């Protein structure tokens, strides 16, 4: 006989509080009061006969038992959400809403959509460009999972920059981007020529903060480490939250940017920007095409996914 489970609501409240390590943030997520969250956690602790949190002076931490249970609970609630979605009717309206990071949407996805429209004039596309929200102290895998859940509540399809392994979802790897220094051709042979990576110390650095936002480390730090260079000060220079802004700054000769050549392909093709060095360093994150298991069976979603994978394959050849 299966073991009787605690009340589902208490488990859900605990999972949220444990994920955030905050009763207040759990209350905001669940649209209840912090007192209600505290009450449900207490009920669960009484049911189990063990404490689930240790209260600290400046916050709270999970007990060992709670820490072990949290990943399985999170996966379980994800599976429940998928099951409910699968039970709902999925009419194929011929309209798709796509969520994607702003720079990828602007620089890669939208310029290619005309080809999809030509092949599938019966499908209307709505693109929602979104930036992943990260709160200090949150684990990266928690942020990715929460982002994916939020995006797919309002969208049929998401293009997510992350680490992959999205259990319970249909996920296809689009491409694994690299980073490299990129700049205006005027800088390469100017007063301070860019012949070797060490020459970067004489130039202003432009920072695409995508790396800091998603992986916790700047693109310049990643590329310079790959190049074996340690005497370039990465603490200086201007910072931009979107790659598209950093690329424009480099095109306007404000400095050299470390970013994804994938997102600067059009400028590189016409010579508005150049790559002064051959080295491209791979990133630990990649772009994934993700959809709910039930939604992924819709003909319109399947058609868009197939087209997207073909476009990604063509980009990888360039």
- Per-residue three-class SS string for 125-147: EEEEECCCCCCCCCCHHHHHHHH
In angstroms, rounded to a whole number, what is the distance separating the alpha carbons of residues 8 and 30?
Answer: 14
| Phi, psi values for residue 86, rounded to 5° | -70, -30
* Whether the predicted pLDDT of 2 surpasses 50: no
**Coil, strand or helix at 119:** helix
Q: Which of 5-14, 76-85, 251-260, 282-291 has the highest mean pLDDT?
A: 251-260
Main-chain phi, psi angles of 256, to 5 degrees: -105, 130
User: Which has the higher per-residue pLDDT, 133 or 284?
Assistant: 284
Q: Which CATH superfamily is domain 95-174+285-317 in?
A: Periplasmic binding protein-like II (3.40.190.10)
- pLDDT for 235 equals 93
Buried/exposed 124-141: b ≥16 CB within 10 Å, e otherwise: ebebebbebebeeeeeee
Domain 95-174+285-317 matches domain 178-282 at the CATH topology level: yes
Compute the mean pLDDT over every residue in the chain, rounded to the nearest whole number.
87
Q: Which residues pair with 157 in a beta bridge?
A: 98
Q: Give me the pLDDT at residue 92, please.
A: 57
Tens-place pLDDT, residues 274-306: 999 999 999 988 999 998 877 888 889 999 999
pLDDT at 59: 82
Which region among 100-109, 127-136, 238-247 has the lowest average model confidence (pLDDT)? 127-136
Burial 54-73 (b: 16+ CB within 10 A, else e): eeeeeeeebeeebeebbeeb
For the chain, what percentages of helix, strand and coil (3-state, to nearest 5) are there? 50, 20, 30
Phi, psi of 37 (to 5 degrees): -65, -50
Q: 8-87 in CATH: which number?
A: 1.10.10.10
pLDDT above 90 coverage of the chain, percent: 59
CATH architecture of 178-282: 3-Layer(aba) Sandwich (3.40)
Q: Please check the confidence at residue 1 and state whether its pLDDT lies above 50.
A: no
Reported as a single tens digit per residue, the pLDDT across 157-199 is: 899 888 887 877 888 999 899 999 999 999 998 888 899 999 9
The pLDDT of residue 318: 61
CB atoms within 10 A of CB 278: 6
Q: Which of 318, 223, 220 is nearest to 263 (CA)?
A: 318
130 within 8 A of 100, measured Cβ to Cβ: yes
> What does the pLDDT read at residue 272?
95
Kindly write down the DSSP assignment for every residue of 282-294, as one continuous string: EPS-EEEEEEETT
| pLDDT at residue 134, rounded to an integer | 42
Residue ranges per structural domain of the chain: 8-87, 95-174+285-317, 178-282
């Amino acid at each position: 006989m299966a073991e009787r489970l605690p009340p589902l609501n208490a488990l859900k409240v605990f999972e949220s509080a444990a994920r955030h390590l905050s009763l207040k943030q759990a209350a905001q997520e669940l649209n209840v009061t912090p007192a209600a969250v505290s009450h449900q956690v207490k009920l669960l602790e009484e049911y189990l006969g063990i404490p689930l949190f240790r209260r600290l002076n400046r916050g709270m931490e999970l007990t060992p038992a709670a820490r072990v249970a949290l990943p399985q609970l999170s996966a379980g609630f994800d599976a429940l959400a998928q099951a409910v979605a699968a039970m709902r009717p999925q009419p194929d309206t011929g309209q798709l809403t796509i969520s994607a990071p702003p720079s990828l949407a602007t620089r890669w996805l939208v310029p290619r959509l005309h080809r999809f429209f030509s092949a599938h004039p019966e499908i209307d596309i709505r693109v929602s460009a979104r930036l992943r929200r990260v709160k200090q102290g949150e684990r990266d895998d928690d942020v990715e999972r929460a982002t994916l859940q939020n995006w797919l509540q309002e969208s049929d399809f998401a293009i997510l920059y992350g680490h992959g392994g999205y259990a319970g979802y249909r996920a296809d790897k689009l491409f694994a981007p690299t980073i490299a220094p990129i700049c205006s051709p005027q800088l390469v042979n100017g007063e301070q020529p860019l012949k070797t990576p060490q020459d970067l110390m004489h130039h202003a650095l432009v920072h695409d903060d995508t790396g800091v936002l998603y992986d916790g480390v700047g693109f310049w730090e990643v590329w310079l480490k790959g190049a074996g260079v340690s005497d370039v000060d990465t603490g200086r220079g201007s910072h931009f939250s979107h790659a598209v802004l950093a690329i424009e700054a480099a095109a306007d000769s404000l400095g050299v940017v470390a970013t994804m050549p994938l997102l600067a392909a059009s400028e590189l093709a016409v010579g508005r920007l150049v790559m002064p060095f051959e080295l491209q360093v791979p990133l630990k994150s990649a772009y994934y095409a993700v959809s709910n298991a039930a939604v992924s069976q819709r003909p319109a979603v399947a058609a868009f996914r197939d087209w997207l994978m073909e476009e990604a394959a063509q980009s990888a050849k360039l």
